Every structure is written in structure tokens, then in C-alpha cells.
Amino acid sequence: MQEKYRKLTNCRICKGSNLEEYLDLGEMPLVNSFPLPGEIDHEEKFPLEVLLCHDCHLSQLSIVVDPSLLFRNYVYRSSMSNDFKSHCNDLAKELNSYACKKGDLIVDIASNDGALLHPFKRIGNRVLGIDPAINLAKIANEEGIETIPEFWNEGLAKKILQSHGPAKIITAFNIFAHVDDVHSFISGVKILLDKDGFFVFESPHIQDLITKVEFDTIYHEHLSYLSSSPVARLLSEHGLRIAKIEKHNIHGGSIRGYIEHNFQNRSNGSSEKVLKDEEISGIYNPSSYYSFSEQVKSVRKNLNSLLHNIKRDGQSISLFGASAKGNILLNYCGIDHQQIDYAFDHTPEKQGRLTPITHIPVIHPDLLLSKMPDYLLLTAWNFSREIMEKTKAYQENGGKYIIPLPQLRVL
Ligand code: DWN
């Protein structure tokens, strides 16, 4: 029987073996494995430990779970958030103002339900999605976004170059950190990218994870936790370079890199500034990681004491956003269906199922006012603004929000 995961022995970017564990969150479920009520006897958990490479500074998980287990049938839909969709709109408008034009090919790696490609198609670009999730590729194809249901690699890049020609833009939003063989991934980008093209990736930034203790963004889908220095090192091995880097608030704080062939020189000096900010934040200093575990434990202690007091006072709690990060927060803090009555979530694929291990029933947000919990724990805290806007009637009825991270707050 094929093993469900392998242990990491070498850094995936520099191949060094100078790896040191700095965080152990214990055995955790696969965060997007929402069981049906009849499936809870077969749930699995896997070690969730984070290592720091002392040679290239890449943070990475100690194991690699079989990606087919994680991504072949995927319940996370990018289009559930209007804020994320406008984030994608802004990118399409920006790139069409200077980097591509109508008719140019835009390829999105890990295109999910097509959220990032719809705005490019509306502008008149040719679009192509790549996503191994058969269920999501079906949705995207039905909505007119051509999507190949495969994992991205060099071989697929060569096939697409033959069939579609070079891509003026290749995007990879919230996927670069999910990839085990990053060398094959980037080599594929080099093959398909037009000589004047940009590869634009966006991933959570470890600077925010460490400085704001956003430990709930650590889960088995996220194999790496990125910063500019190890990424630049990887790119340079494949004839690519960073032209521009931006910080974005999405998903708790992300970095967006605009990457070009190394024979181009369209730098705007931003990568030097981001690197300087990273150095000042301490993420290239190993001692910054040694206290992180203690900070994570104090998040758990403070949240548990707040929820304990609320339940002691006889009040009810539900959550909004049956998110991947939420499943880490709940499982690490030992919070389950005994304290949390319902998980409200717009994602059709999650409704009628239970949160993994904690077994909180996921139901449609239309039921929020009828259930009327005293408190809503925003386990999708990265979308707090949008969720509070959508649940204004709940707040007007006296409902309160608990925002667990980056700072524990009750609103
Ligand atoms: O990298 C990843 C990030 C981008 O998305 C994936 N590996 C997994 C996933 O992580 P997540 O589930 O923590 O992401 P979100 O986007 O923070 O999850 C938000 C959850 O809240 C989703 O289940 C959708 C739900 N939601 C909703 O039901 N109504 C969100 C909004 C804004 C809403 O209005």
C-alpha cells in the first residue's frame, strides 16, 4: 500500500540537511477533510512539525502528505469571498495596463474554480487554468474557463507550450507554498513564460506568520513558509529573477512576486526593501523561532479562557468560516462541538459535513439569525471585514464576534 506521507530529509530549495524543528503542533487532521456524519470513525491525523533550514532560511514541514490525498477532490472554493474576487479583479486590471493585452495567454496554476481567470477573460485575454481538483476543474470548465485537471510540472508546461504557445502571464496564487518539487515547478514556469512575460506568485508571508503568531496558517497543504531570500535563490537556479515584490494584506499578510527571465531588467528596487524589512523583523535570525512555540501556547491559553468564561455564563458560541486555518485553531486548542454549536459557511461542498475531528456541523449562513448564537468565533479572521458586513443583522440583534488572531478581540 502506498505510504500517505514521506519524511523530509533535505531542504526543498537548497537541498541542505541543516534542518532544525522549531514548532510541533502535534497530530493534526487534513484541514480540508470534512467528514460526513457516518465517516467519523475513519478520520486520520498526521504529524504537524515545522523545520527551519539554517542554510537558506526556508521554513518547511517535516513531512510531505501525498498531494493526491490533499488536492484531487478539493472543498475550498476561492470564489466564496467577494474581497478575494476583487483582489483578483485588481490584478487583472493592473497587469493589462502594462504587462499584457487582449489576446495574450494567461495561465493560472492552481486555478481552483477560476476566480483569478474570470476577470482576465472579461478583459479579452486568452485564459487557461491548471488545477488537479477534478471537482473544481469541472465547475471552471462549465463556467467557460478552460481548465486542465492536472498537477503543474515541467512536462505539462512543455505540452501547453505546444498547444497554446507561450504565456505572457503565469499566475500562482496560494499554491507556490503547497508544492513539494519547487524546482520542477519553477522549471515549468521558465519553459512556458513568454520572453517579455511575468510570473506572478502570491503566498502567505512568513514575516506575518512569525511576528503576528498566525500559527493557524500552518497545515499539511502548506509545505513551505515563504520569504524573499530563499525564493530569490530558487529562481536564480532557473534563469529567473524578481522584478518586483509587494506586500498584500490578504490571507493574514502575503507577499506577491513579479518574476521575469534573468535577461530582462525591469526591477523597481522593491525586492531590496522587502528583504531589508524581513531582516529587521528577525525572520533570518534563528532565535526569532525559538520563542514562537511559547507564543502559540499563550494564544491557546487566552482563547480557551475566554471561551470557558462564555460557556460558564451559559452563553452560546458558533463559528463563521469553516476554514482550513480554523480547523488548526480548533484542533490545537481542543475546541470542539461541545463548546461550538454550528459552523456557518457559504461553501456548498462543506455544508452537511462536520469539521474534522472536532465534529462541528457545517450549515448555511442563512440559518444564522434563526440559530442566533451569543458569540460568533471568526475562524476565517482574515475575512473579518467581509463577514461582519454580511452578518450585520446578527450584530444589530446583539450578536458578538470573537476575532482570535492576530490579536484576540471581542467586538
Ligand atoms: O492556501 C489556502 C487558502 C488560500 O485557502 C488553501 N490551502 C486553503 C484555504 O485556506 P482557508 O480555508 O483558511 O481559507 P479562507 O479563504 O480563509 O477560508 C474562508 C472560509 O470562510 C471558507 O470556507 C469560505 C468561508 N467564507 C464564507 O462562508 N463566507 C468566507 C467568506 C468571506 C464568506 O463570506
Per-residue pLDDT reduced to its tens digit, 148-197? 999 999 999 999 999 999 999 999 999 999 999 999 999 999 999 999 99
Q: Alpha-carbon dihedral of residues 93, 95, 101, 103, nearest 10 degrees?
A: -90
Query: What percentage of the chain exceeds 90 in pLDDT?
Result: 99
pLDDT in tens, 213-234: 999 999 999 999 999 999 999 9
Average pLDDT of 316-322?
Answer: 98
Phi and psi angles of residue 158, each rounded to the nearest 5 degrees, phi first? -65, -40
pLDDT in tens, 60-86: 999 999 999 999 999 999 999 999 999
Mean pLDDT throughout 332-360? Answer: 98
pLDDT digits (tens, 9 = 90+) for 328-339: 999 999 999 999
% residues pLDDT > 70 (the chain): 100
pLDDT at 2 > cutoff 90: no
Predicted confidence at residue 1, as pLDDT, reads 59
As a residue count, the chain comes to 411
Selection from 376, 275, 258 nearest residue 316 by Cα: 376
Mean pLDDT of 231-245: 98
Whole-number Å distance, alpha carbon 199 to ligand 1 midpoint, is: 24
Q: Which of 61, 79, 323, 327 for a ligand 1 pocket mutation test, highest count of atoms within 8 Å of Cβ?
A: 323
For residue 341, the CA-to-ligand 1 centroid distance in Å is 20
Separation of CA 212 and ligand 1 centre (Å): 19
- Pick from 61, 62, 72, 81: which is nearest to 32 by CA? 72
Q: Hey, what amino acid is at 252?
A: G
Q: 86-117 pLDDT, tens per residue?
A: 999 999 999 999 999 999 999 999 999 999 99
Q: What is the mean pLDDT of residues 277-302?
A: 96
What number does the ligand 1 atom closest to the CA of 321 have? 21
Residues with CB under 6 A from ligand 1: 76, 80-81, 174, 221, 251, 321-325, 345-347, 380, 382-383, 386-387, 390
State the distance from the centre of ligand 1 to the C-alpha of 217, rounded, in angstroms. Answer: 11
Residue 203 pLDDT grade (very low, low, confident, very high; cuts 50, 70, 90): very high
Give the position, in ligand 1's atom list, of the atom nearest the Cα of 323: 12
Query: 76 C-alpha vs ligand 1 centroid, how far in Å?
Result: 7
Q: Is the pLDDT of residue 304 over 80?
A: yes
Residues 6+ apart with CB under 8 A from 309: none
Q: For position 128, what pLDDT does the model report?
A: 98
User: Among all chains, which residue has been given the C-alpha cell 456524519?
Assistant: 37
15-57 pLDDT, tens digit per residue, is 999 999 999 999 999 999 999 999 999 999 999 999 999 999 9
> Residue with C-alpha cell 531582516?
279
If you average pLDDT over every residue of the chain, what do you get? 97
Q: Which long-range contacts (CB under 8 A, 24 or more apart) does 342-348 make?
A: 342/318, 342/367, 342/371, 342/373, 343/318, 343/319, 343/379, 344/318, 344/319, 344/320, 344/368, 344/376, 345/80, 345/320, 345/321, 346/80, 347/75, 347/76, 347/77, 347/80, 347/322, 348/77
Rounded to the nearest angstrom, the distance between the alpha carbon of 146 and the centre of ligand 1 is: 24
Identify which of 80, 221, 360 to mutate to test ligand 1's pocket (most ligand atoms within 8 A of the CB). Answer: 80
Rounded to the nearest angstrom, the distance between the alpha carbon of 405 and the centre of ligand 1 is: 15
CA proximity to 257, closest of 222, 223, 284, 232: 232
Q: Regarding beta strands 362-363 and 340-344, do their DSSP bridges make them parallel or antiparallel, or are they unpaired?
A: parallel
Q: Pick the closest to residue 199 from 228, 220, 157, 171 (CA basis).
A: 171
User: Does residue 258 have a pLDDT over 90?
Assistant: yes
Average pLDDT (341-355) is 98
Quote the pTM value: 0.97
Q: Which of 201, 206, 152 is nearest to 180 (CA)?
A: 152
**Residue identifier of the C-alpha nearest atom 4 of ligand 1:** 174
Best substitution site from 178, 346, 368 to test ligand 1's pocket, by max atoms within 8 Å of Cβ?
A: 346
- Give me ligand 1 centre to Cα 270, in Å: 29
The alpha carbon torsion through 84, 85, 90, 91 (nearest 10 deg) reads 80
pLDDT at residue 200 tops 70? yes
